[in-house]
Structure formats: C-alpha cells, structure tokens
A and B are shown apart, each in its own frame.
Chain A
C-alpha cells in the first residue's frame, strides 16, 4: 500500500525558510508525480508544486519565486522548501502522489501543520 508521511518543524519564523520532508513507502518516487498541497485556516486548499518521476518540477505560479521541490531517490523521499515565509504561509501541508492523465491526487499524507510566527 502506498503511504506518505510528512515531517518537519511546526513553527517557523517570518522571513525564514520552511522545509518539509515527505517519506514514501510502498511505491517508488521514480514513478508518477509527487508534490505538495496546503490547506489554509478556513479550509482553502492550494496546490504548490510537484516533482516528476524524471526529476523535473512544476510550481504554482503564485509561489514560483519562493518554492523548491527536490528529492532523494535512494531514501524514497522528496522535499519542500518555501523561502521568505510570512504569516500567510501558516497552513497544513500535505504531500501527495499524482496519478492519471490528466493528473489528479490519489494518495495523500496526513499533513503537518506549520505556523509562521515570531
């Protein structure tokens, strides 16, 4: 069974970088697309970006200058870095697998809540 688990700090200071890890079991990240989605207080959800089976990336244009998604295939993990965070980046962050053509999200992690506060 495909399982994803996010990890990382729950509190980040404004202007710093947010870094999260998604650990995947039951499936290789060298297949499919893998990425990040976040849910803000109030329940609005936003896709952030993905990394493909080949390592190429695509990002939400609203985040393009601040976001980076990378991976470590030897550990079957992928990572999110979001720079210059503000309080508006406070959200629950989910990692997910993309599937299908066109792609949709099929497996998700439980999410990690990140608060941006001084």
Chain B
C-alpha cells in the first residue's frame, strides 16, 4: 500500500499570506495526486488533480507542484473563504489520503 505523509497537521496564516502544504508518498506516484478542500459539515471539494491541473472554478491563487514522491500545494494571498481543512490523495494505485491540514486564521 502507498502511504501519504502530509504536513503540517495545522497551519496558522494571516489574510494575504502564502501557505504551503506538502505530501510525501511512500513510493513514486507519477504525479497522480489530487488536493481537496473541506469545510465543516460540507462535502470535500476537488481543487487540483494530476499535481497541478486546476479544476474548473478553482481560483488561480491555488497551485500544486511536485514529482516522484514529493508534492506541494500552495495558496497565495490567503482569503477568509480559504479557512478549511485540506487533504491530498494519491490515485495511482488504489487510493490513499494524507492526514489533512487544518488552515486557521492567525
């Protein structure tokens, strides 16, 4: 099974900051990583697939990069609506999620 190590578990940011979340896979996942946003009581929302492809409707302040085992997800100019939890997902071999990152306002 492929394991996904996501960090940090929590993150505190001010409005307008840039934040970065990382996920490391236990083996090469060939860029098959997606990133989701989840707000309390809401359905997870797919933001990015295949490392860096933004889903329709995803604001351009969200971005993703990486290759091999190491991937990152960034939000530039954090807005209040971005306060949520974020999860990575590898989908090259079955499906494994990262442990999540809770983004809070400083």
User: Distance in Å from the Cβ of B68 to the closest Cβ of chain A?
Assistant: 17
Residue A74, interface by CB 8 Å: no
On chain B, the residues within 8 Å of A102 by CB distance are 32, 91-92
Q: Contacts A43-B100, A47-B95; is A105 near B41 (CB within 8 Å)?
A: no
A45 touches B97 (CB 8 A): yes
Interface of B is mostly: loop
Say if the beta carbon of B21 comes within 8 Å of chain A.
Answer: no
Interface size on B, residues (CB 8 A): 20
Stretch in A8-16, A63-71, A80-88, A107-115 with 4+ CB within 8 Å of B: A107-115
Find chain B residues with CB under 8 A from A108 CB.
43-45
Q: Pick from A43, A103, A107: contact of B99, CB below 8 A.
A: A43
Interface, chain B (partner A; CB < 8 A) = 32, 34, 41-46, 49, 55, 85, 87, 89, 91-92, 94-95, 97, 99-100
Interface residues of A (CB under 8 A from B): 4, 43-47, 60, 94, 100, 102-111
